[in-house]
Amino acid sequence: MKPAPFEYVRATQLGDALAALASDDDAKVIAGGQSLVPLMALRLARPALLVDVNDLPLDTVEVANNEVRLGSLVRHVRLERDAVVVRAAPLLAEAAALIGYPAIRNRGTLGGSVAHADPAAELPAALVALDGVVLAEGREGTRRISARDFFEGFLTTVLAPDELVVGVQVPVAAERHGASFREWAPRAGDFAVAGVAVVIELDAGGVCVSLGAAACGVGSTPVDLHEVLTDAGVLGASDVGDSLLRSTAQAAARTARGDDDREQLVGLLTAAALHDAFARARGGDASGTGVAA
């Protein structure tokens, strides 16, 4: 199980990385390598040139203008532990903690997960739920792409082959913000068979004034559940009683149409994440525990 041969270049400047990427049709970025290298070992990916971006100054976490801006090289372990991320983007911290195992999280990067676009991955779904923005850099300049438009299909995005994800941007969690990521996987650490992320914001009176939600594992891309939850009456609700949980679950389940098992899981997980999100928004503890369903 050895990769096919390839050439390698380590970029220390963004421009060099972009030039290298453009130099070869079969060039690929390597960031954490936690998705790409297994595929190469299985010879399912055979890039001719690997452009190593790990030395670019993109391991950054910044808060400005009520936005959290995260560099693409922020590793999962940092998302999980960094105090700023835990406070300002608790959903990302919770999602990151659900990824694989410590050694995977020590290497895997936010940008890599987003660019890889595995439909079962947590971070893409979390970004969609947060209505985040993907920052892409090409030789033509920077593009800001809404996460809701970024993912096109199984392992495919709107990114051009010679473009680089340089970061993502999500709104800073408000005061009465509640986030939850619930998933079901055969074993803890496995890619989820289904997962649901929910973020809500309550006003001072405890009424839900903003929400986002997305599912992973269900379609060929993260599935945006914003509309489903809105239509189900979550927006404007001040409580999630049993009947709201049930009707929301039922509506969300339909997004997994045709797959009985995923329908069941999405329904359950939506209810659970919604319930958690409300509890956390009320309790002022926006952060999740990262524990699977």
Partner 1 sequence: MKHRVKFEVNGEAAEIEAEPRETLLDVVRERFGLTGAHAGCEHGACGACTVLVDGAAVRSCLLFAVQCEGRSVQTIEAFGTPAALHPMQEAFRTHHALQCGFCTPAMVLTAIDMLAHSPNATETEIRAALAGNLCRCTGYAGIVDAVCSLAGREPVDS
Partner 2 sequence: MIGARTLRREDPRLLTGRGSYLADHDVPGLCHIALWRSPVAHARIRSIDTAAAAALPGVVAVLTQADLDAAGARPMTHLLPIPGVQPLAWGVLAQEVVRFVGEPLVAVVAASRAIAEDAVDVLVVDYDELPPVVDVHAALEFGAPLLYPEWGTNEFLHLDYATDGLDDALARAPHVRTERFESHRIAALPLEGHGAQASFDPATGTLTVLASQQQPHQLRTVIAEVCSLSEGEVRVIAPDMGGGFGNKQHFTREECLVALLARITGRPVRWSQDRGEGLTASIHSRPQVHDATFGYDDDGRVLALSVRVVSDLGNPVLYFSGVGPSLVTVGALCGGYAIEHHGWSLSCVATTTCPVGGYRGFGQPQSHLTTERVMDLVAADLGIDPAEVRRRNLLPDAPRPFIAHGGARIDVGPLGPQLDQLLDSFQYDAWRERQRAMRDAGRYVGIGLSTLVQGTAPTQYGVAGRGGSYETAIVSVLPDGNVTVAVGSKSQGQSHETVLAQIAAEMLGTTVDRVVVRDGDTALLPNGMGTWGSRTAVMAGGAVRVAAGRVRDKMTAIAAHMGGAPTLEAVAAEAWWHAHRLPAGIEPGLSATVCYTPGRTIPIPDAAGHTSFDETFGSHMTAVAVEVCPATGDVSVLDALLVSDCGVVINPMVVEGQHQGGFAQGLGAVLYEEVRYSDDGQPQCTTLADYTIPTAIEVPRLRVVHRETHSGTEGGFRGVGEAAITAAPAALAGAVADALAPLGVTITSTRLHAHHLRALLRAAGVEPDPAAFAIA
Ligand X SMILES: Cc1cc2nc3c(=O)[nH]c(=O)nc-3n(C[C@H](O)[C@H](O)[C@H](O)COP(=O)(O)OP(=O)(O)OC[C@H]3O[C@@H](n4cnc5c(N)ncnc54)[C@H](O)[C@@H]3O)c2cc1C
Q: Which residues bind partner 2 (CB under 8 A)?
A: 1-5, 38, 42-43, 184, 186-191, 193, 241-243, 245-246, 249-250, 260-261, 264-265, 267-268, 270-272, 274-276, 293
Q: Residue 250 CB, nearest distance to partner 2 (Å)? A: 8
Pull the structure tokens for residue 39: 């595929």
Residue 242 partner contact from partner 2, partner 1, ligand X, none using kind-dependent CB cut-offs of 5 to 8 Å: partner 2
Is 104 among the residues that bind partner 1 (CB under 8 A)?
yes
Is 269 among the residues that bind ligand X (CB under 6 A)?
no
Which of residues 101, 186, 204, 242 is near partner 1 by CB under 8 A? 101
DSSP string, 205-227: TS-EEEEEEEEESSSSSPEE-HH
Nearer to partner 1, 115 or 170 (CB): 115
Is 86 among the residues that bind partner 1 (CB under 8 A)?
no
Residue 264 partner contact from ligand X, partner 2, partner 1, none using kind-dependent CB cut-offs of 5 to 8 Å: partner 2
Could you tell me which stretch among 29-37, 160-168, 234-242, 260-268 binds partner 1 (CB under 8 A)? 29-37
Secondary structure (3-state) at 192: coil
How many C-beta neighbours within 10 Å does residue 43 have? 11
Q: Residue 68 CB, nearest distance to partner 2 (Å)? A: 28
Q: Residue 248 CB, nearest distance to partner 2 (Å)? A: 8
Residue 8 partner contact from ligand X, partner 1, partner 2, none using kind-dependent CB cut-offs of 5 to 8 Å: partner 1
Tell me which residue has tokens 């808060």.
63
Side by side, the strands of the sheet bearing 194-202 are 177-184, 194-202, 208-216, 223-224
Which of residues 41, 238, 239, 260 is near partner 1 by CB under 8 A? 41
Is 38 among the residues that bind ligand X (CB under 6 A)?
yes
Residue 106 partner contact from partner 1, partner 2, ligand X, none using kind-dependent CB cut-offs of 5 to 8 Å: partner 1
In whole angstroms, give the CA distance from residue 267 to residue 272: 9
> Beta-strand (E) ranges in 139-193?
141-146, 151-153, 156-157, 164-171, 177-184
For the chain, the first-to-last Cα distance in angstroms comes to 34
Is 7 among the residues that bind partner 1 (CB under 8 A)?
yes
> Beta-strand (E) ranges in 53-118?
61-64, 67-71
Going residue by residue from 51 to 90, which x/- string records binding to ligand X, judged by CB under 6 A?
Answer: --x------------------x------------------
Is 2 among the residues that bind partner 1 (CB under 8 A)?
yes
| Burial of residue 273 (number of CB atoms within 10 Å: 0-12, 13-18, 19+) | buried
Q: Residue 174 CB, nearest distance to ligand X (Å)? A: 26
Amino acid at 209: V
Is 14 among the residues that bind partner 1 (CB under 8 A)?
no
- From the list 67, 66, 95, 64, the residue with the least C-alpha distance to 79 is 95
In whole angstroms, give the CA distance from residue 124 to residue 167: 13
- From the list 73, 74, 51, 56, the residue with the least C-alpha distance to 12 is 56
Binding site for partner 1 (CB under 8 A): 1-8, 10, 30, 33-34, 37-38, 40-42, 50, 52, 54, 77, 100-104, 106-107, 187-189
